[in-house]
A and B are shown apart, each in its own frame.
Chain A
């Protein structure tokens, strides 16, 4: 070929980009459109490096000892001869983000091999999207593994117990194939004491364990970790269901354990400069609370209960100018109760804290005017979650739906990645979301919308949508089937107490074989559903996700996978 090495790289990169658009979300789950940028960047990197190193390349160091023979064959054909493995690996080290690493893996076999053997960190957003063995085989040198299990609504008891999300297969696969593992993060998974024991004995360099919203283990499992993980430096347990068998496990840390630097049991104490979590302290006097917060002028992250009241939030707004994340939790869970925070507190915060980008706000009332003001004051929101405790509650001043308020949020906050909406909402809010929320990745909907059109706006408009979770909203088969190709680009869809029927799910299953369609019925057996076939029974809970692993074999009998 008359191409020089630089141009042949570009050629391959362009080819890869074209190929990966066709592949869509399969395998490495690459974002469509994004890899054009990345390919260009990588191409640039390679070209710049090549220009500088041109004189040294004629010797053609081709040591790739750990590559398979097929890549050596490719090598021999002269496409990658000028780039030794170490060089390419070094270039890849500038691309730590998983998305980018997935992209470069698609360029050619050699790059795939180099990338997978040098991958240090793997993120699995859905434990059923891919087989654990496959991940362990592909990335034998991984150091940090993150796996997520149950769908998000499991946090609110919408997923029956024993649904799944078992950590066992992942720890076992890693124990067999990835002995260099140092960090394990799991969220919403079922972790047994046996698995923790295996974990503690399998990885000599293990140093960080993070379990969030997990269950299935006891303090005995923690004792194993404490006893055998000699290099443990981080143990982070947040909001897990742990069976407490006494404090004995705390004394299992060996006397020689000098490595532990971070121990977190759901509450943060101590330094209040970075973050303050007061969300478990309902008895704190409101005035003491505000006095303390008014002194924390460097506070970036604040979690509080609504006892802080609007007045307290005004103090926060005037003191904490660096605030980036605010969470206001409810102290009273009754939907028709009373809360000391209202839309006024939120407006005050938006006025005083211009750096605010992440919000979780529970309250009993909201107005469109307030939301419009908040949107104008804080266009930097990346995460905006508003929960009005009474489902379907309108604007408290005008009695109108809150479509305009949330519409303003998505219109002004161009970087919005996560959104949870509440209150009285019609299809119009979804029209706004589909039109403006182009960076949105996760959307949570409850008690909202009028018709299938609502969900369709979102499915058609939100180009970057990855997770969609819906409960108690009037979306049915037409919405479910309106854009089936979309599901391939998403991690998952959850729909509960909506209008989807079994027939609709079956149609989806037949059209999209690369999806798992899980129909979850707690009380009905599958038989009853089939008998009522003619009456189009509603599906109580539906969980749809893309997968390369096929139907999972650990599903309980109340889960039917179509």
Chain B
């Protein structure tokens, strides 16, 4: 088929392609342009890195999912997810957590949490029920002891032995590289490794 034929069929399906948008079943990946989904399909190739990246980094936004597609029974999807989860949960990563001023350390399994927020919430639960988590404008995370007013900064030791501020790198990378955690008093947290440039 010539390219011209392709374009004209794109046009005709683009005209009816309104329906695709109306029914809110789009194939666009997060962040892609609002051109007709047909054009996207025809130009795409597997080697296009932009297409691949979003899927591997994080789950596609709802817009990128099509109802009832791929045609696999729910039973099978659930069974597979359960099997994969069972396999994944056998891989745990326990690291020591030290809090300045606390008499003993704790351990947390980093693999058990999907992200930073959940980890901090868990630390809060484990150590002090009166911590609050404050997120500052520049996305720095701090744990604040509501009773004493002491601020704690979560830090971690990476594979190179450096002490880093928690929250700079993507979660998965953090889980891989983190060796131990330390909730450092803010007053002492002045000499940490500089934040990676955004």
Chain A residues with CB under 8 Å of chain B are 153, 155-158, 213, 239-241, 266, 279-283, 305, 329-331, 333-338, 362, 364-365, 387, 389-394, 396, 399-401, 403, 420, 424, 426, 444, 446, 450-451, 471-472, 474, 497-499, 538, 540
Contact = CB atoms under 8 A, between A and B. Distances in A.
B72 interface: yes
A400 B1 contact: yes
The 6 closest A-B CB pairs, nearest first, are A392-B41, A156-B68, A239-B75, A474-B16, A283-B87, A158-B68
B73 A336 contact: no
B83 A283 contact: yes
A514 to B, nearest CB: 29
B114 interface: no
A499 B19 contact: yes
Given A334-B55, A335-B27, A336-B64, A157 B12 contact: no
B70 interface: yes
B68 A330 contact: no
A538 B22 contact: yes
Given A336-B51, A393-B44, A213 B75 contact: yes
B76 A329 contact: yes
Contacts of B77: 333
Given A336-B52, A400-B1, 9 more contacts: A157-B67, A305-B80, A330-B70, A334-B64, A337-B52, A391-B41, A391-B66, A399-B42, A497-B19
Given A281-B83, A283-B83, A337-B56, A401 B1 contact: yes
B75 A396 contact: no
A333 B68 CA distance: 11
B99 interface: no
A266 B76 CA distance: 10
Interface string B45-69: 1100001101110011000111111
B52 A155 contact: no
Contacts of B46: 364-365, 396
B111 interface: no
A158 B73 contact: no
B74 interface: yes
Interface residues of B, number: 46
A393 B84 contact: no
Q: Is the interface of B mostly helix, strand, loop or mixed?
A: helix
Given A336-B51, A392-B27, A393-B44, A538 B19 contact: yes
Contact of A424 (B12, B25, B29, B42): B42
17 contacts: A155-B73, A156-B72, A240-B75, A280-B76, A329-B76, A335-B27, A338-B52, A387-B70, A391-B27, A399-B42, A403-B1, A424-B41, A450-B9, A450-B13, A474-B12, A499-B16, A538-B19
A512 to B, nearest CB: 25
A158 B42 contact: no
A280 B80 contact: yes
Contacts of B29: 336
Nearest to A498: B19
B71 interface: yes
Interface string B80-117: 10011001000000000000000000000000000000
A333 B66 CA distance: 11
Given A391-B41, A538-B19, A446 B69 contact: yes
A538 B12 CA distance: 18
Nearest to B9: A450
A498 B19 CA distance: 8
Nearest to B51: A336
A157 B41 contact: no
Nearest to B53: A336
Nearest to B88: A283
Contacts of A213: 73, 75
A538 B24 CA distance: 14
Nearest to A241: B75
B45 A282 contact: no
Interface in B1-59: 1, 6, 9, 12-13, 16, 19-20, 22-23, 25, 27, 29, 37-38, 41-42, 44-46, 51-52, 54-56, 59
